[in-house]
Amino acid sequence: MTTAKGASSLPAQLANGLRESQLAGLDAMRALAAFLVVFYHFGIPLVSGGTGVLMFFVLSGFLITWLLLRENDELGTVSLRKFYMRRSLRIFPAFYCYAAILLGVIAVRHARIVWPQTWAALFYVGNYYQALHGDPNTGFSHTWSLAIEEQFYVLWPLTFITLRRNYRRMSYFLTGAILAIWVYREALIFIFGVHQGYIYEAFDTRADHLLIGCLLAVVLRAGLLPRFWNWIAVRSWAAVVVAGLLAMSSVAESLYGHMYRDSISFMVSPLLTAVWITQLIALRGAPLWRWTNWGWLRYLGRISYSVYLYQQLTVGAAKKIVAHEPVVVQLAATVAVVVLVASASHFFVERPFLRLKRRFKQTAAGATP
């Protein structure tokens, strides 16, 4: 079996960063991704909320696969039961609490509930409801991305189990799957003229972004492409270039619309995100990138799930309350409200269940702590 021993061929500062229990820089990336969505819904020009969602997808693929790889290397197996229990405790409580609050707000306002969308969101198939029927623009509209992640969590561990004995073979499978989705998506766009709403929200047209994160984890765990990482991951200026290219691609989405986004950015941006993940881990101590480990930024990354959930309810409401104030004040008030509500969700809903999640952590002895 190809194992993490191959990681010794990686640059020392990258290999050392990958050995840490909490991978540096990734909380900062989570925070950036979440607040790109907040700023987009606030209405800041040239900010793409879709880029934030894309970054979340790549991060999810990377982190979930990294945990599976580590468990496989340490124990020689992967417990699907414990994996699904951990994911359930991480995702479901905060989401269903949000859904209950949203439905309560709608009831108090005597507003209309779009029940087909609501049921689809509650069962994590809202992405296909909106891909096929359109987005009715409700408090559940953003749950399409949660549905894609949940569908990934169901399917990828089962695939991982079948490939776990050879990481090089796993990397070939992932590369092939990514390329196949690229060809498939381009065909849907340019040959079949499929509506951009489907391209944007369907799992089959977005799974490559998660798989690129998976591929990154496998390549790093197996120590593949050492020359590339030695060149790209240890130079601070190279990380600036990658971040700049990602920002340029994001702005181009706003300027050129969904045709650029669906056909070009959906290939380029997740690759740039994957490279940037590696650079942030390797350059965690570099003067230019130490800010990614500031405490307040890491905190925003830890509450990013709740930020994403509740921004759908809070951004518009907060903006209306201070509508008479200057835009800067409106933005500051909106961010404050989003952080306050997300913090409440994190401390009173997420954290109690995260403590339960530890009971399903696989240990070297195979016991449940």
Average pLDDT for 28-48: 96
Q: Determine the pLDDT at residue 4.
A: 46
Is residue 364 predicted with pLDDT exceeding 70? no
Cβ neighbours of residue 325 closer than 8 Å, sequence gap 6 or more: 333
pLDDT digits (tens, 9 = 90+) for 77-103: 999 999 999 999 999 999 999 999 999
| 47 Cβ contact list (under 8 Å, min separation 6) | 36, 39, 40, 250, 254
State mean pLDDT over 98-111: 96
pLDDT digits (tens, 9 = 90+) for 287-340: 999 999 999 999 999 999 999 999 999 999 999 999 999 999 999 999 999 999
Q: What is the pTM of this model?
A: 0.95
Do residues 221 and 69 lie in contact, with contact meaning Cβ atoms separated by under 8 Å?
Answer: yes
pLDDT at position 5 is 53
In Å, the largest CA–CA distance within the chain is 64
What does the radius of gyration of the chain's CA atoms come to, in whole angstroms?
A: 20
Does 140 score more than 60 pLDDT? yes
In tens, the pLDDT along 240-287 reads: 999 999 999 999 999 999 999 999 999 999 999 999 999 999 999 999
Q: What is the pLDDT of residue 366?
A: 33
* More confident call, 77 vs 9: 77
- Confidence band of 234 (pLDDT split at 50, 70, 90): confident
Q: Helix crossing, 266-282 with 12-19: angle to 10°?
A: 90
